[in-house]
Structure 1
Amino acid sequence: MAKAQAVSRVRLWFFRLLKIGIALGIAGLIMLAIAVVIAMQSLPGFDALKSSPNGQMIRVHAADGTVIVSLGPSYGRWLSYDQIPEVMTRALVSVEDKRFYMHPGVDPIGMGRGAWRAFERRGQGRRIEGASTITQQLARNIFLNNSYSAGRKLREIVLALAIERKFSKREILELYLNKVYFGGGAYGVDAASRKFFNHPATELSLAEAAIIAGLVKAPSHYSPTADAEAATGRAGVVLDVMAANGDISQAERAAVDLGSVEMVPEKAQDSVRYFTDWVLPQLDDLIDEQEQPLDVYTTIDLRLQRAAVAAIKGNVPGGAQGALVSLDRDGAVRALVGGLDYISSNYNRATTAERQPGSAFKLFVYLAALESGYSPDTRVNDSPVTINGWSPRNDNRKNVGEIDVRTAFAYSVNTVAAKLGMEVGFASVADMARRFGISTTINTHPSMVLGTSEVHLIDMTQAFASVARKGVAVRPYGILKVATADGEVLYEHKDDTSRVLVAPWVAAGMTDLMQTAVNTGTGRNAQIGRPVAGKTGTTSSNKDGWFIGFSSGITTGVWMGRDDGRAVGGLAGGRAPARAFANYMKVAVANRPVETFETEVTLPEWQLEPDEEAYGQPDNGMMVDENGLPLDAPVSASETDSTGETESPAPPAAPAEAPQRIDQRWIDEVLGRGQRTPPASQPSPRPSPSQAAPARPQG
């Protein structure tokens, strides 16, 4: 009797607990239903969820189409469900949520299996894994975060149930495949396809779809940009699961060759970042699009970029930095090196740094002189001169008297440059520099003719390129075309040849002078086995070395020096910079036809000078710079300084002899309208190479 009563009491308590449990369950379901209804009402509409997220993706392409860098989150083109290949949706559902089309947003079977696995691994600090449906993952990606807590998991479940009530299965898959993160900065299947396979997601093959579907589990680990082998290994697992689930046949599985899939990881070089840092801010001036993903097609040639990096690193003196800019004939930037290593210093010495150009600035002095009537054969006088208390000296501290303009330029004779500047006017020289693209402040002190105003390397290279283009303005540019992910062209570069800076015969005369400087003057190390025209530059105490020149349609400028402005022993424009120029240009013009200039090389009055004299080693063995000063000596105001100012003004000294001017016959010859005949006012022809030459100034 007592036993029966005990059993009865147990049954009573059991049914009471059952009723309580059922009541609590019903209450919980009611509360869950209410939460789901509230969540449904708060969910944005489908079109609102389709809107592009914040952050614009920009893919930068080299001239050959190679993606050199991707910036910002990558959001590809939005694809509707019907535009997404069926193999992609099947692969994703099979590996991530095989009961997707049956559950209401939460998979009880999956949750139970996940809980059992967690129980088996109890004590190992593991949480329930593998239980989230595609809908739950979508809720987490759009509305929540990846931090794990019971409260966050409950909100995820509520949102997943609400999403299933508000949207169809097709809409859920469309949202998921366009928003989920696939690694490598790519959000959405189209961005992933473009990044890893270089084509839209509408063209995905079964093998490619398997690779992308496999990325969801661990995007960073399986991303082809991180580990291509791991990506294909995971794709093999996806294909096996698809075959096991009946989404593909065993024959289809066996036919897939994952090893044949061409994946395109980024091939960015650190040095290319100097170029992208310069070019990408220009987008704001070219287009207004701020949201759509963009493809920016640029002018950079990766082969030439590698050659440029090698040329700078292989020639720059120890402790110094180097920079290089190379322009095609229309101004397209083919290579740009802003320093030895972008990672250690992203300061762009090619486009941002301002340094004194030394005698490379004489380009503008001689352009102004040629435009005012001088010719390469015009006689000038190399004699001491003082202008407002400033007395420039030649490197060897010698003066040789009457010479022609060609010789003065080839050997960078400072006194002649000073006299030409005084003759045409220092303001005219400054105007010529600005005309040719110098954007920095240019002083008009007499010493400015020797390059005391600071300039950008890219501006100087632009100026030389305009001479190479026969006086037509060249403006450096790096962007060829900008397009959206759909292929809509927002901008396309058009060459402008309408702005003429100087007459063609002036540019031809300047080229005449510069090719002589390379063949027999201070720029001999820049020779590459075909016609080259250029100019060296070395600043006070060898703080900066420059060489800028052109050949076969390519103009290249090289600068070397220290960031702190300290002297670099042995640095001269005709040494390391000229050698770097030659190393690079041999690669740059290798596939181009040889181009001759309007005038053939004409030997200056002195054909060749010894290296020890060409780079400032006078008879006493003391090294001097292009201003004729000892390398370690301070620059006195009576000689030159960075501003060209003087301490004790003095009346200007006129040249010892007025120069003879150009006549029309020389212009006709340059333009191909007749044979070259020296102007009647010219002295007798220059002495032949076998004749004794006078003492030579150095440059």
Structure 2
Amino acid sequence: MDKRGSRRKRSTRQERAQRAAADTPQSRLKLWTRRLVIWGGAFALLAALFLGLAVAFAARSMPNYYQLKATQTGQTIVVRARDGTEIVELGPSFGKWLDADEIPQLMKDAMVSVEDRRFYSHLGIDPWRTGGAIIEGITGSRERVGGTSTITQQLARNVFLNNNRSLDRKLREAVLAMALEAKFSKEQILELYLNKVYFGGGAYGIDSASRKFFSHPANELSVAEAAIIAGLVKAPSRYSPTADVDAAVGRASVVLRLMKEQGRIAPDVTVDPSAVKLKEESGQNSVRYFTDWALPQLDLLLPDTTEPIEVWTTLDVGMQRAATASIKSNTPKGAQGALVSMDRDGAVLALVGGTDYVQTNYNRATDALRQPGSAWKLFVYLAALEAGYTPDDRVVDTPVTINGWSPRNSSGRNVGEIDLRTAFAYSINTVAAQLGNEVGFGTVASMARRFGISTEINTYPAMVLGSNEVRLIDMTRAFAAVSAGGNSVEPYGILKVETAEGDLLYQHEQARSAQLVPDYVAAGITDLLQTAVATGTGRAAQIGRPVAGKTGTTSSNKDGYFVGFSSGITTGVWMGRDDNARVGGLAGGTAPARAFAAYMRYAVKDRPVEEFDTDLQLPEWQLEPDDEYMLGDPEDYYFIDEQGNLIEPGTSDRQRQDPFGDEFDRTLDPGRAPPPGPNGQRVPPPAPRGADGAPQAVGDDFLNEATGARREPRPQPTPRPTSRPIE
């Protein structure tokens, strides 16, 4: 008993000692460490199992190697000028597919050195890069995880995912990368990558990039050229040799240094990337303004298609080059310039939306809303000519106030009586204001809308001086309609569209033209426009052959305009600042007119000289000097009084209403009225009689005119005064 009791006491003491030892901090740490290892291992095992299942499932559902080779990122569009010359290739461009053994080893080494130095040893993800990604995700932004992708991950992203750089996308990218590694060999992965990665400028794959930047296939790449191409992947737009040669060379030098450090080229190899000869792309800068305007029209012209297409446009390469040079050389410093030129049928021959597309791709020729200044007077004078004015009519330049608005001339003075032609040539504001007031500001707005102005038009009096904002292409279209004899013109830029195999998808058909104004109105406004260039504000636009056009300058010299035409080509030029600030010395008759002349000298050089048709064949209602011709001879009319009784001709002593609503006595010649009778009243003449002596209701003269019989012509009335001031 005693022995058993003593043993129990010893056991109890040992248990207490053990419990006491277990309560020490060191023991508790060991316990929790052991638990963490066990649970952590279990969790890692489950995670590995889950990851393995995810990779296996992804690899099983992934397309095979040949399917991945056939996938294409998007539609390729080759844009050609009107003569078939290729001017730009847009969208993804895919060169020849190079198999692994066809790709130069130096290209493989350059890409691996800069993008994934441990490519041949990892399983799709690089633990070092992944660790960096985790640290960045914890300490940095939760939305972006960058600079961590292996070549395999980049391939997975390019083929299966988007560029959303979130942590969730990175996890899916890692799973797909390991699935790629599980399904394909390293050589296959590198082959897919080098044939699909984006190198900028629309070029996908090393062969497309080599042809775009160096004008030869990728299997002919030099070490320096391979370094330039490899350096593009990080930032294609920033390091593109066509956009920034210095940046491309600097990045290539980094690639070459990494290749030496990793032993992929000998340390003593010297390579000068700056000596690489790059492919010249003439006109690429400016042409994009045209393609940005023309190509969106394909959405309306073509059915939905993703196959490669070739687009023949109306662009003339030489004219585009001349237009670009004229804008760059004549636009004032700090300002922007734009030009639109179209043929007589509306085909856009050249389009420049700014001085440099790389600096700003905003298209000022088609999108910018700016005031045209006095170029808007085209519509004012069109309305006046249609209302009955002629270029020779006399008007009065005098101060005028309309609804509290008092326009002033740029010269600050008034010259008095002048003809309409001179008033237009020298862009006299007070005359334009009076004309607009007389014909109606709504009529002027309607005329502008008729000629293709698509923007909002107000009808305040100041609108006659160009206060409405318009697009340059719309103003050019309006002047082109005048050049076409007053017939409508629809601008267009696409001639035809074909597939890469030559199947025709679209062919332009000329739109039906509508006559906007009568021929004599078109001839009259052409007369005015020609005078404005010959002797007026547009003299700087002369090119040695007939030119018709109009200048425009807004207040404080914020905008300068010139639009004109010659030999069937109509061109509009605008200059100004994007912030609408003042440009010192800018006026429509200076820089814009000079740019117009510089371009047009080239544009019309191969066209015959065309004289303008300014011969006004006026309608009969405008040929007579007064209203009497329209009313006829008052003595030839007969009337019915209110009781229905016949009133014989010549009884002009009564107040009668003529068919036009005016009192007829105001039109009669007092010398022809019947003499007064004995009591002071006028006595009507005897009733007319026929050949048989019987009384007639009307005279023979009236019957002869009514039936078309011949009679002796009557004397014409005295012409009206040739001067008519505008009130």
What's the TM-score, normalizing by structure 2?
Answer: 0.57
Corresponding residue to 1:529 among 525, 541, 544: 544
Q: Do 2:56 and 2:179's aligned partners in 1 also have CA atoms closer than 8 Å?
A: no
**Judging changes above 3 Å, is the alpha-carbon distance between structure 1 residues 191 and 285 closer, same or farther for their aligned structure 2 residues?**
farther
SS at 2:285's partner residue? coil
Query: Contact conserved, 1:92 with 1:213, CA < 8 A, in 2?
Result: no
Distance 2:371 2:157 in 1: 58
SS in 1 for 2:531: helix
Task: Write the letter of the residue equivalent to 2:81.
Answer: A
Residues 682, 191 of structure 1: alpha-carbon distance in 2 compared, 3 angstrom cutoff: farther
The aligned counterpart of 1:345 is 360
* 1:63 partnered with 2:82: yes
1:468 aligns with 2:487: no
Structure 1 counterpart SS, 2:552: strand
Native 8 Å contact 2:104 2:219 kept in 1: no
Give the 3-state SS of the residue equivalent to 2:606 in structure 1.
coil
Offset, 1:344? 3.1
Amino acid at match of 1:558: V
Alpha-carbon distance between aligned partners in 2 of 1:355 and 1:183, rounded to the nearest angstrom? 35
Q: Quote the residue 1:12 is aligned against.
A: none
Per the TM alignment, residue 427 of structure 1 is displaced from its structure 2 partner at its CA by 0.6
Match of 2:505 among 490, 510, 516: 490
Matched, 1:382 2:401: no
**Displacement of 1:219:** 4.2
User: Equivalent residues in 2 for 1:562-577 (5 A)?
Assistant: 562-577=577-592
Displacement of 1:91: 4.4
- Contact in 1 for aligned 2:394/2:722 (Cα 8 Å): no
Secondary structure class of the residue paired with 2:587: coil
What are the superposed Cα offsets for residues 237-269 of structure 1, whole Å, 9 maximum, x if unpaired? xxxxxxxxxxxxxxxxxxxxxxxxx99764453
Q: 1:406 to 1:159 in 2, by over 3 A?
A: closer
The one-letter code sitting in structure 2 at the alignment partner of 1:399 is N
Maintained 8 Å contact 1:548/1:556: yes
Q: Structure 1, residues 90-112: CA drift from partner, whole Å, max 9, x if none?
A: 84599999xxxxxxxxxxxx99x
Bigger shift: 267-276 or 544-553? 267-276
Q: Is the 8 A contact 1:384 1:415 kept in 2?
A: yes
Say whether the 8 Å CA contact 1:370–1:506 is kept in structure 2.
yes
The AA in structure 2 aligned to 1:361 is W
Secondary structure of the residue aligned to 1:496 is coil
For residues 669-692 of structure 1, what are the alpha-carbon distances to aligned partners after superposition, in whole Å with 9 as ceiling and x for unaligned?
xxxxxxxxxx99878999xxxxxx
In the alignment, structure 1 residue 317 sits paired with structure 2 residue 336: no
Partners of 1:354 and 1:34 in 2: how far apart?
60
Q: Which runs of 5+ in 1 are unaligned?
A: 1-32, 98-109, 112-134, 146-151, 199-206, 231-261, 602-678, 687-699
Q: What is the letter of the counterpart of residue 61 of structure 2? A: S
Higher relative contact order, chain-length normalized (CA < 8 Å, sep 6+):
1
Structure-1 separation of matches of 2:303 and 2:222: 35
Secondary structure at the aligned position of 2:491 is classed as coil
Quick one: distance in 2 between partners of 1:190 and 1:487?
A: 24
Would the aligned equivalents of 2:320 and 2:351 in 1 still touch at CA under 8 Å?
yes
| Deviation, structure 1 residue 182 | 8.2
Structure 2 residue matching 1:271: 3-state secondary structure: helix
Which residue does 1:540 correspond to in 2? 555
> Is this contact kept in 1: 2:533–2:540, CA < 8 A?
yes
Residue 44 (structure 1) aligned with residue 56 (structure 2): no
Q: Distance in 2 between matches of 1:572 and 1:308?
A: 19
Deviation for aligned residue 1:387: 1.9
User: Take 1:505 and 1:331, find their aligned partners in 2: how far apart are those partners?
Assistant: 22
Aligned to 1:367: 382
Taking a change above 3 Å as real, the CA distance of residues 487 and 172 of structure 1, as seen in their structure-2 partners, is farther
1:298 aligns with 2:317: no
Tell me the equivalent position of 1:431.
Answer: 446
Q: Give the whole-Å Cα distance in 2 for the aligned partners of 1:550 and 1:154.
A: 64
SS of structure 2 residue aligned to 1:387: coil
SS of residue matched to 2:284: coil
AA of the residue aligned to 2:419: D
The 8 Å contact of residues 144 and 156 in structure 1, kept in 2 or not, is answered as: no
Shift of 1:476: 2.2
Helix, strand or coil for the counterpart of 2:330? coil
**Would you say the 8 A contact 1:325–1:350 is kept in 2?**
yes
**How much has 1:466 moved relative to structure 2?**
1.0
Q: Alignment partner of 2:589: what SS? A: coil
- C-alpha contact (below 8 Å) 2:58/2:175 kept by paired residues: no
The amino acid that maps onto 2:364 is R
Look at both structures and tell me which one has the larger radius of gyration over its CA atoms. 2
CA distance in 2, matches of 1:567, 1:95: 56
C-alpha RMSD over aligned residues: 5.2
Cα distance in structure 2, aligned partners of 1:578 and 1:685 = 34
Separation in 1 of the partners of 2:579 and 2:107?
Answer: 58
Distance 1:571 1:138 in 2: 54
Structure 2 matches for 1:416-427, cutoff 5 A?
A: 416-427=431-442
> Structure 1 residues 67 and 400 mapped into 2: Cα distance closer, same or farther (>3 Å)?
same
2-side partners of 1:681 and 1:296: how far apart? 65
Q: Is the 8 A contact 2:55 2:176 kept in 1?
A: no
Match of 1:327 in 2: 342
Deviation, structure 1 residue 37: 8.7
Count of aligned residue pairs for this structure pair: 502
Deviation of 1:289 (Å): 3.0
What does residue range 120-131 of structure 1 map to in structure 2 within 5 Å? none
Deviations 1:134-173 (A, max 9, x none): x99999985799xxxxxx9999798577469xxxx9x999
Q: Is the Cα contact below 8 Å between 2:158 and 2:197 reproduced in 1?
A: yes
Q: 1:338 to 1:34 in 2, by over 3 A?
A: closer
Partners of 2:287 and 2:203 lie apart in 1 by 22
Q: Summarize the Cα distance change of 1:488–1:187 in structure 2 as closer, same or farther, 3 Å threshold.
A: farther
Closer/same/farther in 2, CA of residues 294 and 467 from structure 1, 3 Å limit: same
Q: CA deviation at 1:516?
A: 0.9
Does structure 2 retain, via aligned residues, the 8 Å contact 1:325–1:558?
yes
- Aligned ranges 1:239-278 → 2 under 5 Å: 266-278=281-293
Q: Work out the CA distance in 2 between the residues paired with 1:177 and 1:398.
A: 73
- What whole-Å deviation, never above 9, does each CA across 1:428-470 have from its counterpart, x for those lacking one? 1101101111111111112211111111111111111111111
Alignment correspondent of 2:566:
551
Gaps of 5+ in 2: 1-51, 109-119, 122-151, 163-172, 233-239, 250-276, 617-715
1:297 aligns to what SS in structure 2? strand
Structure 2 Cα separation of the partners of residues 40 and 539 of structure 1 = 67
Aligned amino acid, residue 204 of structure 2: Y
Q: What secondary structure sits across from 1:314 in the alignment?
A: helix
Cα distance, 1:365 vs structure 2: 0.8
Report Cα offsets for 1:577-632 as digits up to 9, x if no partner.
2112111111111122211111389xxxxxxxxxxxxxxxxxxxxxxxxxxxxxxx
Identical pairs, percent:
62
The aligned residue for residue 285 of structure 1 is 300
CA contact (8 A) 2:451 2:477 kept: yes
Deviations 1:290-344 (A, max 9, x none): 5333333333333222322322232233443322221222222222222233333
| C-alpha deviation, 1:480, in angstroms | 2.6
> Structure 2 counterpart of 1:513, which letter?
L
Distance 1:322 1:184 in 2: 26
Aligned-partner SS, 1:531: coil
Aligned in 2, Cα 1:34/1:378: closer, same or farther, shift over 3 Å?
Answer: closer
Contact preservation (8 Å) 2:565, 2:571:
yes
Q: Which residue of structure 1 lines up, in the alignment, with residue 430 of structure 2? A: 415
